[in-house]
Structure 1
Amino acid sequence: MAQSAAHSGPGGGDAAPAGPDPRRWKALGVCLVAGFMTLLDVSIVNVALPSIREGLDTPASDLQWVVSGYALAFGLFLIPSGRLGDARGRRAVFMTGLALFTLASAACGAAQSSTWLVVARLVQGVSGGLISPQISALIQQMFSGRERGRAFGMFGTVVGISTAVGPLLGGLLIQVAGSAEGWRWVFYVNLPLGVVCFLLARRLLPDTPSAGRVRPRDLDPVGVLLLGAGVLTLLLPFVQAQQWTGDGKWLLIALAAALLAAFVGWEARCTGSRTHPVLDLALFRVRSYWLGCLLILLYFAGFTSIFFVTTLYLQSGLGYSALQAGLSITPFALGSGATAFVGGRFVGRFGRPLVVAGLVMVALGLAGAAYAVHLVPGGGAGWAMAAPLLIAGLGGGLVIAPNQTLTLAEVPVDRAGSAGGTLQTGQRVGSAIGIAAVGAVFFAQVGPDGWATAYDHGLIVSVAFVLAALIVAAADVAAGRRRGRRTEKKSTDPSRSRA
């Protein structure tokens, strides 16, 4: 059994370790590889979509579920899984999630129908949601002081790298294995990594000293069910837009609104009771927090859908190979990775205006990519899109990490875990909504010689989400400046000074 890196504090929580675990950096390596796998599967699948479509005769709606279903399942299980790890032991939940993720990856690779693949992807998303919260919790448990900052920095780097190499690695695997069956290796690549990680996790990861029994109400199953049903009902009319004819399907949006309203009512009822809510509504009294959550939900809806429609356009519309499509998208990911460090370093100096500048660059870059398709039609479009996508990526690096810092800045320390989990859930739900909405518009426009038009319309929706995030960020900047002027006026008012 692995040596514990922490002991239980007086209140039953994890206290600082009595002495550093000599295996903590090796344990961190296990966590980082597992995190790399789960995040890689967000982007690596995009370049495999055309091959999946041909290999399994997959309808457009199922292609959308392959991507958005993973993101949705991932997001819905983040907060309950974090609580489960705290209660039952982070190593145990981590290993359970890792085993399930590896088995689900094998099921994805062996899929014989699109329905089989979608179900396996949903299970993969659930298992990714089990793993991810344990990583940040284990870092907090195993490290303290400057070491903890270094460990979180390494985890942030892995997040950036997994996004950057996903399309490229997927393209390489399909190039080597062939377009007919190569998509299966996009999932099979997880098998050796998963097995090795599982064996090392059992040996190296520490126990959770405060682990004990977990009650169902600690996981808020009713809240999870209401939120999942609400978001799923919201996605259905968009994902199934081509399969469900008639306007009746749009009535589901009203049902989704009712389910989400019921979710908010249930969470409000749970606040202050013995049931721990999935969503801590008290956090949304903090202006910077709720604005930051809304901003990142809209941004993820815009930027994750870019990869979805771009790979489909390049491969199915222009005849690019998976590797060529992956190379064409790589500038966005590389640009984002290059500026992520800059954004994290300078957010304290510039604040929300830095996020505004990043969103402006993303919007301009995406608009430039749409223009490049018309400026250089045909096979040269991928090269023409590289520069605009690089600009969009450079802007993207100034959005995610700085927004997370600003969003959590005013959150009380005792609610930091719940606040961070809610923020990540918003990211994944935003991804699912964006892919559903953009995909619905894209596939509605596809026809004979209509790929460029479909791509234009898809990017317009992506840009609309980004612009909505920009409006939220600009509103936050304006409100902050008004509050600063009021504070300055109060401090310089002579009558108030005499009082």
Structure 2
Amino acid sequence: MMESEAMTPRQKTLAVLVLVVALVLEIVDMTIVNIALPAIKTGIGADSVHAQWIVAGYSISFALLLMAGGRLGDSLGYRRMMVWGVAGFTLASAACGLAQDGAQLVAARLLQGATGALMAPQSMALLQVLFDPLERVARMALFGVVGGLAAIAGPILGGILIDADVFGLGWRLLFLINVPVGVVTILAALRFLPSSRSHLPGGYDLAGTLWFGAAVGALIWPLIGGEGEGRGHGDQLWLTLAALPLGWLGWRHVTRRTAEGRPALFDPAILAIPTFRLGLAMSVAFAAANAGFLFVFAFALQAERGQSPLMAGLLHMPFGLGAMFGIGFMSRRLLPRMGRTLPLIGALVMAVSCLLVLAAIGLGWPLVSVVPAMVTAGSGMGMTIGSIGPITFSHMDRAHAGAASGLVKTCQQLGSGLGVALIGSAYFGWATAIGLRPSLFCAWLLAAILAWCATLATRLPSTIFHPATNPEPAAP
């Protein structure tokens, strides 16, 4: 069995490539479906509630189980959980491609997110195990570039596949294409990934998973399913408020188990690290804004401006180019020197750019005016997301790699689910109810979320990548 300490630089490079492929699987399936929603709604008769659940359900089930997936990686081994996760993800993708109605597709997407939750935390955990904090900046920049390209490639690939209609499969090929990719990834993971695991005591915290899962579900369900289930606003409010006591009970549970020396979903001590705590909050805010923007951009181009899925996908390309510049150049070169200033600038640049993009769509400006604004929006996105990851893990003990990665990925996916739910509800319902153009209303909402992300960046320590800026929690 190959251990990370004995790996050569070439072996580490091959391991990173395997993690990159897994990352692409995870991210493409978040964004590729955005471009296919109109075709899916027509093809299988899905309604607006189904449409939101097809997109956000993936993020929700991801968020519910990511902490558990991270903890399982610590206990059972990161490679093992990666292989199990990719295998489940591949089978769930096949189920998505074979779905016959909206309910079946929603169920398959929930399963896809749940199995992806076993896979995703292992990538970040293995990066922590393989590399030191400053070495991670370059590797996380690579992850950011690939992740940004994957997010943009999703709609483009989706538009191409739908337009080509290979074998008459239409939108179904968007999911079925994951099957051969998943098989290759499993074989490569078994060959190239190290068999590392945490030295902390193993075990599984089922009660902690249930408490925090219930809190997440109570928080996000009313935003997506409330109107579709015919609930009153009072019932939705009470369900949302229930997330607070459920989260508190979960926190109390893991605190008690940690104090007793028993396995817990995560060690609460890691939240005492300022960079990690603020990084989690920034992850939620930024993921909400990014996912919400991509959702409304793809849909509004088709619904309001009559663009084809292919053209809507191609108009994502300037965003991808900007993201490559922001992550691959700005964050990689400037983050160690600029620290918290870089994500602050990035969030504000993206906020202004999103306003311009959605204003151009909503007010009927020529679509060519969208291109430069999409480039700057992508650059802002790249500077922000390329900074948040290295900052969040900059002072984390490697013994907590899986649990910490699970928490970060949970916050990212919860933010994505909240963003799609919030922006989707604003676009499909709230804007019409108050007499505003949907895309313009969403533009201001997105700007407010990004402004909050910039505010959080100002609370980070003034120096981040200096040793001993913050103490690591002692491993028991």
Match of 1:265 among 243, 252, 274: 252
Structure 2 residue runs without a partner (length 5+): 464-476
Answer yes or no: is 1:467 the counterpart of 2:464: no
Aligned mates of 2:29, 2:171 — CA distance in 1? 12
Question: Secondary structure of 1:306's partner?
Answer: helix
Match of 2:331 among 339, 343, 347: 343
The equivalences for 1:138-287 within 5 A come to: 138=126, 154-177=142-165, 181-202=169-190, 204-206=191-193, 208=195, 218-243=203-228, 244-248=230-234, 249-287=236-274
Contact 1:376 1:384 in 2 (8 A): no
The 1:207–1:154 alpha-carbon spacing in structure 2 relative to 1, beyond 3 Å, is same
What is the number of equivalent residue pairs in this alignment? 459
Deviates more, 1:150-159 or 1:391-400: 150-159
Contact 2:340 2:462 in 1 (8 A): no
Match of 2:413 among 428, 431, 435: 428
Alignment-derived partner of residue 458 in structure 1: 442
The 1:365–1:178 alpha-carbon spacing in structure 2 relative to 1, beyond 3 Å, is farther
Contact 2:140 2:389 in 1 (8 A): no
The 1:179–1:463 alpha-carbon spacing in structure 2 relative to 1, beyond 3 Å, is farther
Q: Which has the higher contact order (CA 8 A, sep 6+)?
A: 2
Q: How much does 1:254 deviate?
A: 1.9
Amino acid at match of 2:427: F
What's the CA shift string for 1:257-302, capped at 9, x where partnerless?
A: 2212222222222232233333432222233332222122111111
Q: How much does 1:207 deviate?
A: 6.0
What's the CA shift string for 1:144-198, capped at 9, x where partnerless?
A: 9999887655444432321231111111111111899521111011112112223
Alignment-derived partner of residue 314 in structure 2: 327
What's the CA shift string for 1:114-154, capped at 9, x where partnerless?
A: 11111111111122221223334455667799998876554
Amino acid at match of 2:284: L
Alignment-derived partner of residue 66 in structure 1: 54
The 1:39–1:374 alpha-carbon spacing in structure 2 relative to 1, beyond 3 Å, is closer
Question: Secondary structure of 1:76's partner?
Answer: helix
Deviates more, 1:277-286 or 1:259-268: 277-286
TM-score normalised over the length of structure 1? 0.83
The 1:472–1:142 alpha-carbon spacing in structure 2 relative to 1, beyond 3 Å, is closer
Amino acid at match of 2:161: L
Structure 1 residue runs without a partner (length 5+): 7-13, 482-499
TM-score normalised over the length of structure 2? 0.87
Aligned mates of 1:213, 1:412 — CA distance in 2? 11
Alignment-derived partner of residue 381 in structure 2: 396
Contact 1:88 1:214 in 2 (8 A): no
Contact 2:199 2:399 in 1 (8 A): no
The 1:368–1:286 alpha-carbon spacing in structure 2 relative to 1, beyond 3 Å, is same
Match of 1:438 among 412, 423, 441: 423
Q: How much does 1:25 deviate?
A: 4.7
The 1:61–1:208 alpha-carbon spacing in structure 2 relative to 1, beyond 3 Å, is same
Aligned mates of 1:271, 1:85 — CA distance in 2? 18
Answer yes or no: is 1:90 the counterpart of 2:87: no
Deviates more, 1:19-28 or 1:178-187: 19-28
Answer yes or no: is 1:5 the counterpart of 2:2: yes
Asked which structure has the greater CA Rg, the reply is: 1
Question: Secondary structure of 1:104's partner?
Answer: helix
Q: How much does 1:427 deviate?
A: 1.0
Question: Secondary structure of 2:87's partner?
Answer: helix
Aligned mates of 2:351, 2:423 — CA distance in 1? 15
Alignment-derived partner of residue 283 in structure 2: 296
Aligned mates of 1:161, 1:356 — CA distance in 2? 22
Alignment-derived partner of residue 471 in structure 2: none
Deviates more, 1:318-327 or 1:455-464: 455-464
Deviates more, 1:103-112 or 1:366-375: 366-375
Alignment-derived partner of residue 303 in structure 2: 316
Alignment-derived partner of residue 484 in structure 1: none
Alignment-derived partner of residue 493 in structure 1: none
Aligned mates of 2:127, 2:341 — CA distance in 1? 31
The equivalences for 1:345-384 within 5 A come to: 345-377=333-365, 380=366, 382-384=367-369
Answer yes or no: is 1:306 the counterpart of 2:293: yes
Q: How much does 1:48 deviate?
A: 0.8
Question: Secondary structure of 1:274's partner?
Answer: coil
Aligned mates of 1:146, 1:350 — CA distance in 2? 14
Q: How much does 1:226 deviate?
A: 1.5
Alignment-derived partner of residue 132 in structure 1: 120
Q: How much does 1:322 deviate?
A: 0.8
Alignment-derived partner of residue 473 in structure 2: none
Match of 1:50 among 22, 38, 43: 38
Contact 2:58 2:110 in 1 (8 A): yes
Alignment-derived partner of residue 468 in structure 2: none
Q: How much does 1:337 deviate?
A: 1.9
Alignment-derived partner of residue 96 in structure 2: 108
Deviates more, 1:172-181 or 1:147-156: 147-156
Alignment-derived partner of residue 492 in structure 1: none
Answer yes or no: is 1:34 the counterpart of 2:31: no
Contact 1:372 1:384 in 2 (8 A): yes
Amino acid at match of 1:401: G
Question: Secondary structure of 1:77's partner?
Answer: helix
Contact 2:343 2:388 in 1 (8 A): yes
Amino acid at match of 2:232: G
Aligned mates of 2:397, 2:188 — CA distance in 1? 35
Alignment-derived partner of residue 495 in structure 1: none
What's the CA shift string for 1:80-111, capped at 9, x where partnerless?
A: 22332343343332222122111111100111
Aligned mates of 1:51, 1:158 — CA distance in 2? 27
Identity %: 31
Q: How much does 1:359 deviate?
A: 1.1
Contact 1:343 1:401 in 2 (8 A): yes
